[in-house]
Amino acid sequence: MARGLKQRCPACGVGRIYTAYLKVAHACPSCGTELHHQRADDAPPYFTMIIVAHVVIGGMLALERAYAPDSLVHMMIWVPLTIGLSLWLLPMVKGALIALQWALRMHGFGEGPDPAAPEPIPSRVSTHTGIERER
């Protein structure tokens, strides 16, 4: 996960994991490890929001308790800080989650079929008698 936080390949730690801000590379440019299997989806923004909210709300409460500044001062401090922290942390959190998936061999990173893949739904076939049965 430390390699993912550094936005590096979880396998070799050398190649960059992103080709753009949050666009994951198809494969590591250094070692060739395929990264397209990753399924970070909505988890990175949620974890980022939790981290940023704890920092910002804690800071807001401490500042209010110590100095009781005007609301405009709070806006000038906390809105840019919230946006900046979110944009700074999001790629690192996503990289850490991709590295965790790689380490746990989730979503196609391991050999063989993906154990987290849903089971196929058995199809029903109607026979000439009108009774449905599983194939």
Q: What is the pLDDT of residues 81-106, one digit of tens each?
A: 999 999 999 999 999 999 999 999 88
Query: What pLDDT band is residue 107 in, cutting at 50, 70 and 90?
Result: confident
Q: Which residue has the tokens 């060739």?
A: 32
Report residue 49 as tokens: 């929001």
Query: What pLDDT band is residue 130 in, cutting at 50, 70 and 90?
Result: low
- CB distance 12 to 70 below 8 Å: no
Q: Of 14, 48, 19, which Cα lies nearest the Cα of 32?
A: 14
Entry pTM: 0.78
Confidence (pLDDT) at 120: 64
Alpha helices in the chain (DSSP H): 2-5, 43-67, 71-103
Asked if pLDDT for residue 123 goes beyond 70, the answer is no
- CB distance 77 to 131 below 8 Å: no
Confidence (pLDDT) at 75: 96
